[in-house]
Amino acid sequence: MGNKAEINPEKELNTEKELITGLGTTSGNMKKTEALLKVEDLSLSFTQYESGLRQTELKVISNLSIQAYKGEILAIVGSSGSGKSLLAHSILGILPSNAKLDGRIEYNGAELTQERKEEMRGKEIALIPQAITYLDPLMKISNQVIGCVEKKNEGLMKKLQREIFQRYTLKPEVERMFPHELSGGMTRRVLVSTAVISSSKLIIADEPTPGLDEKTLNETLSYFKDMADKGCAVILITHDIEAALKISHKIAVFYAGTVLEVANVEDFKNNGENLRHPYTRALWNALPQNKFQAIKGHQPMQDEVIDGCIFYERCSRKKALCAQGLPQLKQVNGGMVRCNNAS
């Protein structure tokens, strides 16, 4: 059957070697020129029926553009309900049937159509889900990590899985456990293993850190760093800006379904003076070790129609121009920003 992961044994062995020898080393020899994943002007809306047969379109992502490079970690930071997870689902092509996707997604230089998504997922593009509920409650862990493979590759995959488990200090008995028997930290490592075993080039981690203690958090983050060091492009979706800052190269700030700023991690130094968008600065100031100040108001709801800048209501530096049309995403100082004030 064509839908099972096809594995080239030789390639697999190479990857294995690479995984073992390459722990936290190579990062210098990566080409950073061409983006592995390019999302351009992506919009996502859902068709809904509201009071009887009236159809409405609920826009959850609008005019979103991001790029992910090999060897780099791009963090997508935003509060809940900003459409972060849906972005991941759009890239993987696992949206529900009432979703309407516009814009262009490119992977490795070619457009990522739904057919290509279906072909790529699990092989080239891997998702690390956010919670234990993404594992089949009645299937043993090792079967889930290995996934659906052809019979002849089972032995090889089993070996690979054992090595990965050893690397992530998962005891051999974890293989035979059911998801509900795992602890929080173990769950993280198992979920990460599912991506590592696929030897994907693009890893999308959806909220991988909530509710973890400091040690487990750092450990989990280090796994992503390893992946990037080995040449993967990692997209880290999170609401934890602190955790994102620890390992990411770039940070995209998500707000109400679009990106307001793509900042380099260096921009957050010096009290965030180099940050381009007022919302990013507000996020930074809200951290306990900084000013611990939250800004007033809330993110606009998905069904609200906004003519101007989506941050207009809460912005401290708004001008008349801001109420007219969504500002364009422009290149400023080595990053991207969607603000009329930035220059």
- What is the contact surface with another protein in residues (CB under 8 A)? 1, 3-5, 89, 92, 94, 118, 121-123, 126-127, 129, 131, 133-139, 147-148, 178, 180-181, 194, 198
Q: How far is CA 153 from CA 73, 144, 196, 341, in A?
A: 31, 15, 17, 57
**Taking the complex as a whole, how short is the minimal distance between the CB of residue 127 and another protein, in angstroms?**
4
Cβ of 190: how many Cβ atoms within 10 Å? Answer: 24
Listed in order, strand segments (DSSP E) in 166-257 are 202-206, 233-238, 250-255
CA 168 to mean position of chain CA atoms: 21
Q: What is the nearest approach in angstroms of another protein to the Cβ of residue 88?
A: 9
Q: Find the shortest distance in angstroms from Cβ 284 to another protein.
A: 32
Q: The tokens of 105 are what?
A: 């997604």
Closest distance to another protein from the beta carbon of 335 (Å): 30
- For 148-293, strand residue ranges (E) read 202-206, 233-238, 250-255, 258-264
**For another protein, which is the closer residue by CB, 31 or 180?**
180
Closer CB to another protein, residue 143 or residue 216?
143
CA 206 to chain centre: 5
Find residue 327's DSSP bridge partners: none
Q: In the structure encoding, which two tokens stand for residue 339, read together?
A: 């603000």
* CB closer to another protein, 125 vs 322: 125
Nearest distance, CB of residue 62 and another protein, angstroms:
23
Nearest approach in angstroms of CB 306 to another protein is 30
User: Considering beta carbons, is residue 29 or 133 the nearer one to another protein?
Assistant: 133
In the bound complex, what is the minimum distance in angstroms from residue 245's beta carbon to another protein? 27
CA pair distance 311, 78, nearest whole angstrom: 13
Give the tokens for residue 124. Answer: 């080239």
Please say which residue, 21 or 133, places its beta carbon nearer to another protein: 133
Question: Between 123 and 330, whose beta carbon lies closer to another protein?
Answer: 123
Give buried/exposed letters for 4-40 (b at 16+ CB in 10 A, else e). Answer: eeebeeeebeebbeebeeeeeeeeeebeeeebbbbbe
Other CB atoms within 10 A of residue 57 CB: 10
Separation CA 107–CA 196 (nearest Å): 19
- For another protein, which is the closer residue by CB, 6 or 41? 6
Closer by beta carbon to another protein, 80 or else 271? 80
